[in-house]
Structure 1
Amino acid sequence: MSDDMEDVVGVLTEQIERRFAMSMQELKSTVAVAPDANREATDLVKWHGLLTQSHEAVVRAEDALLAALETQPDVVDDPTMALARRVNATVAARDGRAMVIRWLLDPNAYGKQGVEAERLARLSRGARTGPAVSTSAPARPAAPASAQGRGALR
């Protein structure tokens, strides 16, 4: 596990705690009680949880890869290469989640001001709980008199 990523998780956690003036655990508890009270807090808690899960997955994948590499001679076999690809995939997922948190924390980030922000606000404002169009069943036409009865006529 790289110290750099631990630092990134720690830095992001500190920034979140500083923004809300409470520890991450307190913020999680507050969001659990009232998830609709502060959309930003809810989003940050969600993504922070995803980030820590991804970080744990990276640690497990790296440990498995290191264990496999210790048993390898000079040539790396296919199962070990598959472990290396798994490490790459988990690192990419973790880094992507870290970028989302950075975006959520940055008030000047692209899409948070100007036309993009207005469009996003318009979409999230008054979020629908149901379909936009009425979905009542259409009226069924009355069956013709000759088609009434059992079965189909041939």
Structure 2
Amino acid sequence: MSDDIGDVVGSITEQIEQRFGLSIDALTAAVGAAPNARREATVVVRWHGLLTESQAALERAEDDLLAALGTQPSEVDDPTLNLAHRVDAAVTIRDGRAVALRLLLEPNTDGKQDVEAVRPTRRGPAVPTNPPTRSARASLPSRMAVR
């Protein structure tokens, strides 16, 4: 089922390999040998592991759903519907991890963004600091004003 989306894991793995100049296996081994040497690589390898785990879980969920659908009559029963929800959740998890990895691989988002660059600018107070002043006479309708 996941083939129509393209090889998400393969695509991201290629990006990682290009970014670090090593195969994912070599990068994983390097991070395992010296996890504190390059924090960025350690984080990327960790998220890549999470991505591959979620892809495997998605594939298992899809296989289970396909097997259940193959035995269903025209109506889908609750256990099969639950399998469909499991597939949906697995896709969401996998896609979320893929997005996280893509953000980590962006050249300008290595976790060291300039706080001033992302902080919204203000052009004045967010809330008026002084309430508008009005006289008691001005706020009464004209026929009720004291004369």
- Into which bin does the TM-score normalised by the smaller protein fall? 0.7 to 0.9
Residue 4 of structure 1: how far off its partner (Å) = 4.3
Residue aligning to 1:36: 36
Root-mean-square deviation (Å):
2.2
Partner SS state of residue 73, structure 1 = coil
TM-score (norm 2): 0.74
Largest Rg, 1 or 2: 2
Partner SS state of residue 107, structure 1 = coil
| 2:72 partner amino acid | Q
**Alpha-carbon distance in 1 for matches of 2:55, 2:18:** 22
- Give deviations 1:125-147, integer Å, cap 9, x for gaps: xxxxxxxxxxxxxxxxxxxxxxx
Question: Is the counterpart of residue 53 in structure 1 residue 53 in structure 2?
Answer: yes
Q: 1:98-117 alignment to 2 at 5 Å?
A: 98-109=98-109, 112-115=112-115
**Alpha-carbon distance in 1 for matches of 2:73, 2:7:** 33
In the alignment, structure 2 segments of 5+ residues that lack a partner are 119-147
Task: Summarize the Cα distance change of 1:116–1:41 in structure 2 as closer, same or farther, 3 Å threshold.
Answer: farther
Task: Summarize the Cα distance change of 1:116–1:96 in structure 2 as closer, same or farther, 3 Å threshold.
Answer: farther
Superposed structure 1 runs of 4+ greater than 6 Å apart? none
In the alignment, structure 1 segments of 5+ residues that lack a partner are 119-154
Corresponding residue pairs, total: 119
Task: Summarize the Cα distance change of 1:3–1:14 in structure 2 as closer, same or farther, 3 Å threshold.
Answer: same
Residue aligning to 1:21: 21
Residue 107 of structure 1: how far off its partner (Å) = 2.1
TM-score (norm 1): 0.71
Higher mean alpha-carbon deviation, 76-85 vs 7-16, is at 7-16
Task: Summarize the Cα distance change of 1:117–1:43 in structure 2 as closer, same or farther, 3 Å threshold.
Answer: farther
Residue aligning to 2:71: 71
Partner SS state of residue 7, structure 2 = helix
**Alpha-carbon distance in 1 for matches of 2:6, 2:58:** 11
Give percent identity, aligned residues only.
Answer: 62
Question: Is the counterpart of residue 82 in structure 1 residue 88 in structure 2?
Answer: no
**Alpha-carbon distance in 2 for matches of 1:77, 1:41:** 45
**Alpha-carbon distance in 1 for matches of 2:116, 2:79:** 46
